[in-house]
Structure 1
Amino acid sequence: MPRRAAARSKPGATPDYVRALEQQLSRYLPRQQIARVRRAYEVGAAAHAGQTRQTGEPYITHPVAVAGILAELRLDAETIIAAILHDTLEDTELTREAMGTEFGMPVVELVEGVTKLDKVRFRSRQEADAESFRKMLLAMARDLRVILIKLADRLHNMRTLGAKETQSRRRIARETLEIYAPIAQRLGMNRFKAELQDLGFRALYPDRHRVISARIKAMLGNRREAMTRIEEALHVRLTADKLRHRIVSRIKSPWSIYDKMRAEQKSLAQVMDVYGFRIVLDSVPHCYQALGSVHGLYKPLDGRFKDFIAIPKANGYQSLHTVLFGPFGAPIEIQIRTEDMDAIADRGVAAHWAYKTAAAPANSAQSRAREWLSGLVDQESDTHSSIEFIENVKVDLFPDEVYLFTPKGKILSLPRNATALDFAYFVHTDVGNHAVAARADKKLIPLRAPLSSGQTVEIVTAASAAPSPQWLDWVVSGRARTAIRHHLKRLQHEDAVEFGHRMLDRAFTALGTSLEAVPTAVLERYLAEQKYKRFEELLADIALGNRVADTEAQALLLAHGDHPHAARVASGEKILINGSERGVLTFANCCHPAPGDDIMGYLSAGKGIVVHRLECPNVPELRKAPERCIEMGWAADVQGDYRVELRIDVANKPGVLAQVAAAIAEASSNIENVEYKERDTETATLLFTIEIANRKHLADVIRHVRRLHVVNTVRRYPL
């Protein structure tokens, strides 16, 4: 946030930093466009007059520096102007209308996309940051230049981070490493990514950065002769094969070394023991020819070749990667690419910027970035929490991807460790919602199975299939997680509305009347007083335990003018459940109720109705809040599987566990968990958690287990 200085800066000659910017722009922009940029500086300088940065410099130096970073990427005049004015709407008296009149609405929209939401009140700093990030991503989806300005803004702030207090410095550095550097990588902007990572690492872990930097410097000095000899050998071989080329030696950054040490549990010496070179050529055929040349010079390591030219990375990156046995005992990592691929690897979406001519085709990084952003917009519409949204986006910013094929040959890029269920949601949300299994390279696999690059994946669907809460444990991508949560929330709301209606009807019946007796006008007035937009919201709150049905029924009768303590009718009516209400019902883990048991419901605020067996030891305590207790029973058409526990005393002999498990499986029951409760030399007590359909099924399982000669007793637990 800019600080207001005691006195305004005096007008004078053009500052050197403005002249330097104009000189940069003169290399690619016409004179009239540079004049517009100069005017933007004058407007920005006047708006920020008297404001200073924490370094003590005039505040206008920051937006001009941001514009300079973007000028290095040769971005258009509108982007440069928006960069100079990017803080004016938020921190100065300059209005949206004045900016639009002077520079046009495209500039205003860019500035608004970058502008933070500091003027909006949020419950926490975390929520404010998340909402600001969410707004920026949606603006990115409309215009990619928004994120380019934001990344340049963050880069300059990181370059001048030293003026901040330690706590702020660490917070900004962590945010840079977790969010902005991965975004730069996702957009293919490796130059930005590398500097953001290095500056973030230095600010967050200054001692580690200093030690690793010193080791890199020392090691490079010791290895310079070896690197020169390898480079000369590569040059001689490529020249002999008549390939025009340039060779660049690659040096790992302190952050990449530190990150690899952490991820792979390697020492600094192990990570550094690699020579890296990039070979840049003039065409794709020459890239493959150069690959043959270097493989002829040094033997390749088996399994270390990757073709990112034929299958580009998700951010548009293209290159051939190979690792060779070197002459000095250390492996040689080689990247081979064209000049155009090198520009995209360095600048990503900003390479060959095409905004000045709308008809010009976007490069692969730009088109892939727009695909990614359109997917984020779909996620955003299904995610109600900004914090949840940003967590989902973080998942999608993993640097590693797996590349998978659909049966028709389309390539999909998914995050590392993605499962078949993730793949289903990347194909289409409806495919994910109805998935039941998958085939990877024509072999049947479960939905939770992780996938490997190069597999051809086909999803098996069924109209009756639907997401369950367990699916959230089977996916790693933000897209799949958002779609599953959205479906579950919708189901829960529908179940809660239906169940809340049944509870309210029962409460009215117990009072000797019905909901239809309350006039519509009275109901609408009551809903307005209670801050509900729709009747369904009240019903859902009743089912979720946030409201008590008896209390609401009495309040509605009171609002209608009837006496709130009307004589209760001992209706004895129970609410019957059939197992399809899982969105709003949970079955207590203390007693594991199953169809056929005598049950009751307890309204737990926020959790909904928790179903207990009447013989559950916790029921007497629950009965102390009678207004939250609900008489319940089982419907005739009960569905689904129910978890119960069996306590089985057995002879402590080898193979007993396998015999008991086999008997349970023969009775068509799934085993969820098994543990030893007690054990001595003669006997053992096993506790099995199994799934059953009803009490008859449970009795069948117990009969199968009792037949075993190694079983002494078997009983339901708790008793």
Structure 2
Amino acid sequence: MIPADDLVELVRAYNPKTNEKLIREAYDFGLEMHEGQYRHSGEAYFSHPIEVAAILTEQQLDDATIITALLHDTIEDTKASYSEVARRFGEENALLVDGVTKLTNLQLSSTETKQAENFRKLFMAMSKDLRVILVKLADRLHNMRTIRAMRPQKQIQKARETMDIYAPLAGRMGMQWMREELEDLAFKVLNPDGRASIIRRFITLQKETGDVVQRITGDMIQVLDKTGIQAEVIGRAKKPYSIWRKMQAKDQGFSRLSDIYGFRIVTADENDCYRVLGAIHQRWRAVPGRFKDYISQPKSNGYRSIHTTVSGRDGRRVEVQIRTRQMHDVAETGVAAHWSYRDGVRGENPFAVDPARWIRSLTEQFDTEEDHADFLEAVKLEMYQDQVFCFSPKGDVVKLPRGATPIDFAYAIHTRIGNACVGAKIDHIRVPLWTRIKNGQSVEIITAVGQMPQATWLDIATTGKAKSAIRRALRELDHERFAKLGFELARAAFEHVGKKPTEKILDMAAKQMRLEDRETLLARLGSAEINAHEVVQAVFPELAPDDSDEVAAEAAVIGLSSDQRFDRAPCCEPLPGERIVGISHRGHGVVVHAIDCDNLTNYEDQPNRWLDLHWQVGRHKPVYGTTLDLTIGNDAGVLGRICTLIGENQANISNLEFTDRKPDFYRLKLHVELRNTEHLHSLMLALQAESEVAAIERFRDPSLGRLPYAAKE
């Protein structure tokens, strides 16, 4: 356990004006509060807060952050209270400790809905003071370094949580070193064999080629010396998880990977960065498409650097990052650089971003997202992606996640532009909307009046902002589409009884059915939440058909005893007029199947469960649902005519589902309520006669017959 003197010395090394007395008091208070508590490893528990504080000293953070690290578990795990911490260490420190406590209590690896809500809370906590998440990240880093003391199942849970949430968050904050270490520690738990395999390959490679890093570093220093540039060259092999991810993304083996080494060149000023770039490109051949200038176009978290990939010794590719010392400090600590100290003075690094502005830009686009799952997806998309920089036709720079498409670009400009997008040009050439935008490209969006988002855009878009806007527009479109469909259904139903669905009549029906207005009535009718017969009855109950001579549905099958009840099998949906057979299910009555149902083969060896049944002769009510698979032309008014035709044939649509949408055709499943097989045949003939119906057939799904009680008895 690090002594108090040593911890104070770590802080004093970068901040000679530190409040040494307050840090010692926090150390002593934490030691007292955690007395008698032990970690899974058997160490005294307070060793953990001390190590968290030590990790934060590496980032040269302020006294408040160091004190929060020492006290971050006191309110949650000891008898210490918020008021006591505030009294002894000040309101600022108490608020920070309380914020870390609340983050710790968020179960981020729970179910999707709760996880999304907890993400909202996490961003809210971050927005109040970003130092809260800095302490939490350091806390997670130390826990991952000592994770072997936990039981195996807990290790896997924590490693997944780290890989899914904390590592990407650290990366998004610009703390790339922490992201890499968190990923590698989690990788060691989740896939120890994969990690060990990569390490073995590295050892073999070093035996075959020697120390490549040292040789290339020497070559670069020699080149820079010749040009008279003073710079520091740092070389390293990439982390095992970084290599594994690259292997998975490129579907390549280790031996085929080239850029597994990375080099950083740190210069005195910005001009030297470009001089170094020129010297490196003169000495080694640059790899096309692998150049990024984050100095002229910085990332939103303040990151600045020039990235290039060159072919080094023996044709081996190496990645080179070129930056100034100030840029390097921000690259190491990211957003945390805002609080860093040097020589007792708060860091005045010109590249450190304002944390409040950064977190606001990250959260504002999620505020309008209503669906929890959509919110979670949007957050993860925004955190996990790196960025590309492209240009509008006016020369404005637009930052997008790597892999973004023109759809993302359009919505980044304005939601109105995105909704009206019909095409795009990249570098003045017309391209499909699914094209991936690359760094430095110019993008032009082509719009058209009346264009609306398509459902397929959700598969094309990659940014949370675009996906949220598309979903919102589609919800509005669905309401409008259902309302139009509902009107056609209402018109057919009212005309069937000699009436017209005027606005006044629909208003009356909505009032009678206790709905907000006629638009709500029509939308619910179109989405099959209510049926047209109910709407007619609400206004003209005297015109409802007399069903007194019709066969009651509950007495429609002959061959059952008085105490037996039956259900129609969902797999074959038998209709009156078809030959049927019953299968008895203990405790669940009888399930009636059509005689040609494929699922009857499951009961061939159980003849005692078979019942000989037949439909009662007579006029049946139109209550027997069956499903039709239709392919219709994608043209104005086609769906309305189909619905009218079904209404004219005295059938009711109980559900409608689009299964495929193409520019020229729609495919959909219609669940209609019919009287019998004759009714079915007459309806299918009427639909086949409609010129816009390309195909129609009765739909049956054998998988729907696999009921939970359908096992052998």
Normalising by structure 2, we get a TM-score of 0.69
Match of 1:466 in 2: 452
Instruction: Kindly indicate whether residue 662 of structure 2 is the aligned counterpart of residue 622 of structure 1.
Output: no
**How far off is 1:145 after superposition?**
2.1
Instruction: Kindly indicate whether residue 339 of structure 2 is the aligned counterpart of residue 353 of structure 1.
Output: yes
Which of these residues, 579, 585, 590, is aligned with residue 630 of structure 2? 590
- Taking a change above 3 Å as real, the CA distance of residues 519 and 267 of structure 1, as seen in their structure-2 partners, is closer
Which of these residues, 19, 28, 49, is aligned with residue 33 of structure 1? 19
In 2, distance between residues paired with 1:273 and 1:609?
44
**How far off is 1:191 after superposition?**
1.2
**How far off is 1:539 after superposition?**
8.6
**How far off is 1:75 after superposition?**
1.5
- Taking a change above 3 Å as real, the CA distance of residues 410 and 39 of structure 1, as seen in their structure-2 partners, is farther
Which region of structure 1 is more displaced relative to structure 2, 339-348 or 78-87?
78-87
**How far off is 1:242 after superposition?**
1.9
In 2, distance between residues paired with 1:517 and 1:325?
77
In 1, distance between residues paired with 2:110 and 2:527?
26
Q: Which of the pair has the greater relative contact order for Cα pairs under 8 Å at 6+ separation? A: 2
Contact 2:60 2:340 in 1 (8 A): no
Match of 1:717 in 2: 695
- Taking a change above 3 Å as real, the CA distance of residues 452 and 164 of structure 1, as seen in their structure-2 partners, is same
Which of these residues, 227, 233, 237, is aligned with residue 241 of structure 1? 227
- Taking a change above 3 Å as real, the CA distance of residues 399 and 496 of structure 1, as seen in their structure-2 partners, is closer
**How far off is 1:589 after superposition?**
4.4
In 1, distance between residues paired with 2:670 and 2:250?
52
Instruction: Kindly indicate whether residue 124 of structure 2 is the aligned counterpart of residue 84 of structure 1.
Output: no
Structure 1, unmatched stretches of 5+, are 1-14, 528-532, 558-564, 572-586, 611-615, 626-631, 633-643, 647-693, 699-714
Match of 2:473 in 1: 487
Deviations 1:415-471 (A, max 9, x none): 222111100111222322233333322334454443222111232334533323232
Identity of aligned residues (%): 36
Match of 1:153 in 2: 139
SS at match of 1:382: coil
Match of 1:405 in 2: 391
Contact 2:258 2:316 in 1 (8 A): no
SS at match of 1:590: strand
Match of 2:646 in 1: 599
Instruction: Kindly indicate whether residue 381 of structure 2 is the aligned counterpart of residue 395 of structure 1.
Output: yes
Match of 1:130 in 2: 116
- Taking a change above 3 Å as real, the CA distance of residues 552 and 569 of structure 1, as seen in their structure-2 partners, is closer
**How far off is 1:297 after superposition?**
3.5
Instruction: Kindly indicate whether residue 159 of structure 2 is the aligned counterpart of residue 181 of structure 1.
Output: no
Match of 1:171 in 2: 157
Give the letter for the 2:217 counterpart.
E
The within-5 A match list for 1:142-291 is 142-220=128-206, 223-224=209-210, 227-271=213-257, 276-291=262-277
- Taking a change above 3 Å as real, the CA distance of residues 502 and 94 of structure 1, as seen in their structure-2 partners, is farther
Contact 1:545 1:607 in 2 (8 A): no
Give the letter for the 2:224 counterpart.
L
Computed over aligned residues only, the root mean square deviation of the Cα atoms, in angstroms, reads 4.8
Match of 2:322 in 1: 336
Give the letter for the 1:24 counterpart.
L
**How far off is 1:292 after superposition?**
2.8
In 1, distance between residues paired with 2:324 and 2:474?
48
Match of 1:688 in 2: none
Contact 1:401 1:415 in 2 (8 A): yes
Structure 2, unmatched stretches of 5+, are 547-626, 661-666, 677-682, 698-713
Which region of structure 1 is more displaced relative to structure 2, 481-490 or 49-58?
49-58
**How far off is 1:154 after superposition?**
1.6
The within-5 A match list for 1:531-550 is 544-546=527-529
Instruction: Kindly indicate whether residue 127 of structure 2 is the aligned counterpart of residue 141 of structure 1.
Output: yes
**How far off is 1:264 after superposition?**
1.8
Contact 1:544 1:609 in 2 (8 A): no
Give the letter for the 2:374 counterpart.
E
Match of 1:11 in 2: none
**How far off is 1:192 after superposition?**
0.3
In 1, distance between residues paired with 2:523 and 2:79?
46
Contact 2:509 2:535 in 1 (8 A): no
In 2, distance between residues paired with 1:403 and 1:270?
29
Contact 2:159 2:190 in 1 (8 A): yes
The within-5 A match list for 1:27-106 is 27-29=13-15, 33-45=19-31, 48=34, 50-92=36-78, 94-106=80-92
- Taking a change above 3 Å as real, the CA distance of residues 607 and 374 of structure 1, as seen in their structure-2 partners, is farther
Match of 1:316 in 2: 302
SS at match of 1:453: coil
- Taking a change above 3 Å as real, the CA distance of residues 268 and 305 of structure 1, as seen in their structure-2 partners, is same
Give the letter for the 1:280 counterpart.
V
SS at match of 1:467: coil
Which region of structure 1 is more displaced relative to structure 2, 543-552 or 31-40?
543-552
- Taking a change above 3 Å as real, the CA distance of residues 568 and 302 of structure 1, as seen in their structure-2 partners, is closer
Which region of structure 1 is more displaced relative to structure 2, 289-298 or 587-596?
587-596
Give the letter for the 2:696 counterpart.
P
In 2, distance between residues paired with 1:268 and 1:609?
42
Normalising by structure 1, we get a TM-score of 0.68
**How far off is 1:550 after superposition?**
7.2
- Taking a change above 3 Å as real, the CA distance of residues 550 and 73 of structure 1, as seen in their structure-2 partners, is farther
- Taking a change above 3 Å as real, the CA distance of residues 28 and 407 of structure 1, as seen in their structure-2 partners, is same
Which region of structure 1 is more displaced relative to structure 2, 44-53 or 185-194?
44-53
**How far off is 1:256 after superposition?**
1.6
SS at match of 1:469: coil
Match of 1:455 in 2: 441
In 2, distance between residues paired with 1:505 and 1:312?
59
Contact 1:437 1:459 in 2 (8 A): yes
**How far off is 1:158 after superposition?**
0.8
